[in-house]
Amino acid sequence: PAIHVIMDEKLRKEFIQGYQGDVQFKTISKETKESPDSRSQGGKFMQGEDKLLYFVNTDFQPRLCVPNKLRQHILEEAYESPLETAH
């Protein structure tokens, strides 16, 4: 399974910085940096080649982890962008 994430470099850096300040992802991000080829927290998280953090669910599908400080922005983008939403 794979996930293809496209975002501009500025936003990618905001994600990476956001992991460092996020209580939920700070430790996980550190663990995956120290050992990027392995998964942390019992195999539930991994760091991609793009240095972004992914949660791997029970079906082995990676899901992009969004730092808390960026969640509102991402939700607004998804709901307000006419090209990105479908209901």
**Model pLDDT for residues 46-81, shown as the tens digit of each residue:** 888 889 999 988 888 889 999 999 999 988 887 877
Domain boundaries, the chain: 9-80
Backbone angles phi, psi at 78, to 5 degrees: -65, -40
pLDDT surpassing 70 at residue 83:
no
Cα–Cα distance, 56 to 41 (Å, whole number): 11
Backbone angles phi, psi at 80, to 5 degrees: -95, -15
How far apart, in whole angstroms, are the C-alpha atoms of residue 11 and residue 80? 18
Neighbours of 50 (CB within 10 A): 14
Tokens of 25: 């992802």
6 vs 64 pLDDT, higher one: 64
Q: Is the pLDDT of residue 36 over 80?
A: no
Amino acid identity, residue 20?
Q
